[in-house]
Structure formats: C-alpha cells, structure tokens
Amino acid sequence: MVKVHNVSKLYRLYRRPADRIWEAVLPGPAERHQDFWALREVTFSVERGETLGIVGPNGCGKSTLLQIVCGVLDPTSGRVARGGRVAGLLELGAGFSPEFTGRENVYLNGEILGMSRAEVERALPRIEQFAEIGEFLDRPVKTYSSGMYVRLAFSTAIHVEPDILVVDEALAVGDAVFANRCVKKFQEIKKRGVTVLFVSHDLSLVKLIADRAIFLREGRVEAAGEPSAVINRYIGLVLERQKALEGSDGASAAALAASFRHGDRLAEVASVELLGRQDGPTRVVESGEPVVVRVTSRFHADQPDPMVGILIRTRIGMDVFGTNTKLQKLAMGPCRAGDTLQVDFHFDCWLCPQEYTLTVATQHPDGSSHDWLDEALAFTVVASRFSAGVANLHARAVARRLPGAAA
C-alpha cells in the first residue's frame, strides 16, 4: 500500500553555486534563486497488490515522484505513507562495480537493497536462473554485454521480495524476450500481493499491466483512473501539442516532416494524415483498428496517369507493408496542373504493438518519383495482448487432450 497525500516538491534553481551560499549568509530578502515546482499537490493511493502506471511527457515530474515514493527524496510538503519494504528500480545496476564478479555484486546489491546475507544466499539460485547469464556470473561485470548487465540487475532487484516495487523505465532496455519475461514476472509478483508503481513511455505496456494509471503534466495529476481512459487523455494532449506546433509552422507542405525527401515535385505531397476509428488524426492505433491514411497531393504539371503510394516500416526500417493506387487498380484519370488530389487508403491495422513509420510518395507510372517522403509520420500500435513480431495474425489457441495409447 502506498498513500501519497498532497505532495509537492520545490527545487530552488541557482544560476551559480555561489548564489546558494550568498543567500544563506546574507541577511535580507534578496532572493537569488528561481522556484521550480517539480510536483504540485499530488495525491493518490495504490492498494496492496495493485499496479499503478504513471505516464506523462518528459520533465513532468514522473521520476521525482518515484524518488519521493521510494524515500530517496523528501517532499517539500505533503506526506507519503508506505506499507512495507520498498524496492526501487530507479536505475538498473545502481551500485554495481565493474571490477567485481556478478556474484559478488549480487551479494552486495542485495544487501544494499535491504536483504540480509542469508536471504541473498537463498535467493541466489533464482536470481541466477532468471538472469540467464550462465558462467558469466563469476566473471567481472565489466566483461558483460549491456543486456547481461541489465538482466542481472533486474533479476537481483526483483528477488528482493519487496512489498512495494517502484520501477522507472527499467523495461525500456533489454530485448523483446527479456521484456516479455519481465512482464510475466510483474504479473507473478502482483499475485503475491506486491504493490507496483511504474513509469513507462510504452503506453501499450501500461495498458497491459497496470490496474490504474495516472497522467502527470507539469507536476500535477492531470488524469487518474482506468489506464485506457488516462492514456487516451495523454494521447489527446500529445496530439494537441503537435497540432499547435504544426499550426505555428503555417500548416503547409513545408511542415511535413520527412527524414529524406526527393523527387521532381511535379506532383507535391501537401499533407499526410492517419485517421483512426475516432474522427480526426491520431498517432496511436489499436491493433486491428480500421484506419485511413489520407494523402493529399497538389499537381504542378499535367499528369496523364498519376500514382500515389504508401509504405509502412518498422522503427528499424524494415518494410512491413506497401501499396499504391496502381496496385489497387484505382483509376484516377488524368490530373491537370493546379489540381489537388486526395487519396484514402483504408485498412485494418493488424500490426503488433511497436512503433512504425509511414512513407508516402507520388510517382510517375514508370516508377520515378515526383515527391517521395521517407518517414513522413510515425505512429504507435498498441494492444491489450502482447505478441512478438510485426504482423498480428490474430491467432487463437485451441487445445485438446489426446487419449493416451493403451498399453
């Protein structure tokens, strides 16, 4: 159980370290600092066995809040009550020293996290098993790959058997397999009645494991409750901001972001939009959700047979799916200079949860580009069920027990 009541955190920012001394020494009200409220009147509680996800943009106070919950920082005002032993995973491997072996580090780290030596000894086989680093356990940590380092650190911390586990972006590292096992581990410790608070930028992860979520913005709780509702609120804010940003840019083709743009511009892409189930542009799509990619292009020369195409790629640049109006056998007829053409691509977004990019182009029938924009837009697919890979094949599992062969 964690109860956070009316917690605020004030940082005094000094331009120079000497100002801090002057202010302490010199009498009078001459203030040499600027007040910065990292948290403002934050109140929430998490019951035993409940998992709370904390989302919000960078610098909104998420990490400060976790540090206060752990007891690493003191609130400027307000109060935090914790029911039991707290283990904080604010930074994986904090306190590991590179010259020592994994085993030695596990011992010391376990003790630092609050276990007795005997407890560490008992937990060691399980830590070893979960970390899966084999014989490396007896080699200096400096020889580890970063993946092994993270696995060992996470494994140590999660076997401390805390009553309250506080995790800050710990799962952002490590490969998909390990992340998946961590999720399972979370669910397992949740069943044991451990209270979990975690911060993540991975919204699908929050939906997946959190019972409730809070959305922090500029140090205040902007929304709290059902994870999906809170996340929608957060996404709404992100979109709003994006729009404000685009609006200030003059919402022209110039505002279109692209990592690489080439072509003769005889037919120019004026805008690219991703429309979700709800009206209006989105950047977050539920797996399987019907979406529309709307490409608007402006023609600066007559084109007898124009062509518009889209291509979805993963974050690492693998092509996932691509199509164009020619492949779709869509006859658009000749376009003349000055025409504006809008093409909608409808599809059900059966992709696995991760980030994707959208590349769009207008092309000449021979395949040469009029206007090609790589990664014009990025979007995230979320799902309530984790699955590996790229394509969500929407599989169902069926099991039947076969009668044993008679002896």
Partner 1 sequence: MKARFSDIQVSVAAPELRLEVSCRLENRGPEAWIPAKGFAFSYQIFDPSTGTLVEDGQRTEMGGDIAPGDSVAVRLSVPLPAQPGDYRVYVSPLVEHQAWFYERGSPFLLLEARVEDGRAELRRRGVSTLGRVRLATLARSLGRAAWYPARSLVRHRSLIRSLVSRDIAGRYRGSYGGLFWTVIHPLLMMAAYYFVFGVVLRARFANDPRPSSFVLYFLAGMLPWLAFSEAVGRAPTVILEYRTLVKKLVFPIEILPVNLTLAGLVSEAFGLILYAAGLWYFDRPFAPAMLYLPVLVAPQVLLTLGLCWFLAALGVFFRDVGQIIGFLLTLWFFLTPICYPEASLPAEWLWLFSANPLFGLVRNYRRILLEAAAPEWGSVLALSAVAVAVFLAGHAWFYRLRRSFADLI
Q: Are 276 and 282 in contact (CB under 8 A)?
A: yes
Distances (CA, A) of 32 to 8, 21, 76, 355: 21, 10, 19, 45
Report the residue from 19, 90, 181, 374 that binds partner 1 according to the rule CB under 8 A: 90
Beta carbon of residue 138, minimum distance to partner 1 (angstroms, whole number): 14
Cα dihedral 336→337→338→344 (10° resolution): 60
Does the protein bind partner 1 through residue 262 (CB under 8 A)?
no
Task: Count interface residues toward partner 1 (CB under 8 A).
Answer: 37
**Which H or E element spans position 267?**
strand 267-275
100 is a site residue for partner 1 (CB under 8 A): yes
Binding of partner 1 at residue 88 (CB under 8 A)? Answer: yes
Interface with partner 1, residue 44, by CB under 8 A: no
Please pick, from the candidates 22, 36, 59, 95, the single residue that binds partner 1 as defined by CB under 8 A: 95
**Shortest separation between residue 226's beta carbon and partner 1, angstroms:** 22
Beta-ladder partners of 285: 381
Work out which of 46, 55, 86, 182 binds partner 1, going by CB under 8 A. Answer: 86
Q: Which is nearer to partner 1, 91 or 264 (CB)?
A: 91
For residues 13 and 254, which CB has a smaller minimum distance to partner 1 in the complex? 13
Task: Answer yes or no: are the C-beta atoms of 307 and 364 closer than 8 Å.
Answer: yes
* 91 in contact with partner 1 (CB under 8 A): yes
- Residue 15 is classified by DSSP as S
The residue within the footprint of partner 1, chosen from 15, 59, 97, 280 (CB under 8 A), is 97
Position 374 contacts partner 1 (CB under 8 A): no
User: Is residue 79 a contact point for partner 1 (CB under 8 A)?
Assistant: yes
Q: Report if residue 81 touches partner 1, rule: CB under 8 A.
A: yes
Judged by CB, which is closer to partner 1: 13, or 30?
13
In the set 31, 74, 319, 355, which binds partner 1 (CB under 8 A)?
A: 74
Q: Please, which residue, 17 or 367, has the CB nearer to partner 1?
A: 17
CA dihedral 94, 165, 173, 183 (to 10 degrees): 150
Please state, in angstroms and rounded to a whole number, the distance separating the CA atoms of residues 216 and 7: 13
Task: Report the alpha-carbon distance of residue 393 to residue 43 in Å, rounded.
Answer: 42
Neighbouring C-beta atoms of residue 102, cutoff 10 Å? 27
Q: Does 290 bind partner 1 (CB under 8 A)?
A: no
* 138 binding partner 1? (CB under 8 A): no
Q: Which of 77, 252, 259, 342 binds partner 1 (CB under 8 A)?
A: 77
**Residue 394 main-chain phi, psi, to 5 deg:** 55, 50
The H or E element containing residue 240 is helix 227-249
Binding of partner 1 by 113 (CB under 8 A): yes
Q: Is 27 exposed, middle or buried (0-12, 13-18, 19+ CB in 10 A)?
A: exposed
Tokens found for residue 303 = 């084109």
5, 103, 181, 364: which one binds partner 1 (CB under 8 A)? 5
- State which residue, 119 or 305, has the beta carbon closest to partner 1: 119
For CA atoms 329, 330, 336, 339, the dihedral sign is negative
Piece of the chain touching partner 1 by CB under 8 A; list 112-120, 126-134, 179-187, 348-356? 112-120
Q: Which of 67, 204, 324, 363 binds partner 1 (CB under 8 A)?
A: 67
Residue 34 CB neighbour total at 10 angstroms = 10
Question: How open is the CA angle 273-277-283, to the nearest 5 degrees?
Answer: 45
If we measure between CA atoms, which residue out of 58, 97, 90, 57 comes closest to residue 73? 90
The site for partner 1 (CB under 8 A) is made up of 3, 5-6, 11, 20-21, 67, 70-79, 81, 86, 88, 90-91, 94-95, 97, 99-100, 104, 107-108, 111-114, 116-117, 140
